[in-house]
Amino acid sequence: MITTRQEIEQAIAALSLGGKTLFIHSAIKSFGQLEGGPDTLLDPLIAAGCTVIMPSFTYDPLCSPPAGAPAMADTAYGGHRGEWLLPPTRPYDYRANEIEPSMGAIPRALLNKPGRVRSQHPINSFVGIGPLAESILAQQTLQHVYGLYDNQPQAWVLTMGVSLTSVTPIHYGEQQAGRKLFQRWAQQVNPSTGEVDTNLVAIGSCSNGFDKLQPYVQPIARELKVGASDWTLYPLQPLITRCKRAIQQQQAITHCSDVNCLRCQDAIASATR
Ligand SMILES: [Zn+2]
């Protein structure tokens, strides 16, 4: 099965994506063979005036707490109990193109495009291109990790061959439902001084149970088959709000299938602290 540029262009027209802000979560394998590679997807979106934002996470900058760091409650540090293999640490540099292999080929291609912008969060960075990319990514801070979703009434979430377990904005719904974000220490190159800073940053929890939110977002989902890939388009703010409400009503709804998952346990418990 092959997906062609023409099919991508037809999808952009059918979903009226031109000029829109799109938070895209994708799996290149869902396209079968994407004729010409990731640029066959990215270039028509850019040509249509879209602002395209994708996650470009990196885990190598994670580090142990620095000497003398204040002790944090175990749960507030959720999942840190042996989950991460910390050393060796590689400091994050937003000017470089390091990215977790699990992010996939499409964000990696966007990262390597001239003119791309990347946020400065050492663990949960995002990469973007297009008219609003710089101003959107500037809204993310080391602690307000989901700030990029603020003040985006016209933005959309577009999944390409992935389910809700890949949809990062749902983490913002968790936070708005009262959950506390996890805290991690991470190293990054300070662009002003060139030195390596060790910073405390907020990150999201386990997303493996997010598919249970499907019934709550289905009414606002618009689905389209694009070549071999199943796309779903959601308006960003209603997506976050619907997930927030569902989690508020039933905090355990997002618990993944691993009953022993420390991150799910801590995230759910954090809502009542
Ligand atoms: Zn879990």
Tell me the per-residue pLDDT of 182-208, one tens digit each, with 9 for 90 and over: 888 899 999 899 999 999 999 999 999
Query: What is the maximal distance between C-alpha atoms in the chain?
Result: 58
Please check the confidence at residue 81 and state whether its pLDDT lies above 50.
Answer: no
Percent of the chain at pLDDT exceeding 90 = 85
The pLDDT of 122-144, averaged and rounded, is 98
Report residue 185: phi and psi, to 5°: -95, 140
Please check the confidence at residue 72 and state whether its pLDDT lies above 70.
Answer: no
The pLDDT assigned to 154 comes to 92
Q: Which of 10-19, 57-66, 162-171, 254-263 has the lowest mean pLDDT?
A: 57-66
261 Cα to the center of ligand 1, angstroms: 5
Please check the confidence at residue 273 and state whether its pLDDT lies above 80.
Answer: no
Top-confidence residue, 189 or 64: 189
Q: Which of 37-41, 81-85, 136-140, 153-157 has the lowest mean pLDDT?
A: 81-85
258 Cα to the center of ligand 1, angstroms: 6
Is the four-CA dihedral 204, 205, 209, 213 of positive or negative sign?
Answer: negative
Domain range for 71 is 2-270
Tokens standing for residue 167: 């949809």
Tell me the per-residue pLDDT of 46-63, one tens digit each, with 9 for 90 and over: 999 999 999 999 999 988
Tokens standing for residue 174: 């968790």
The pLDDT of 72-88, averaged and rounded, is 52
209 Cα to the center of ligand 1, angstroms: 7
Helices marked H in 113-259:
133-137, 169-176, 214-217, 236-249
- Judge if the upstream peptide bond of residue 191 is cis by omega within 30 degrees of 0: no
Confidence of residue 87 (pLDDT cuts 50, 70, 90): low
Number of domains the chain is built from? 1
Q: Which of 10-19, 42-51, 62-71 has the lowest mean pLDDT?
A: 62-71
85 Cα to the center of ligand 1, angstroms: 18
207 Cα to the center of ligand 1, angstroms: 7
79 Cα to the center of ligand 1, angstroms: 10
60 Cα to the center of ligand 1, angstroms: 21
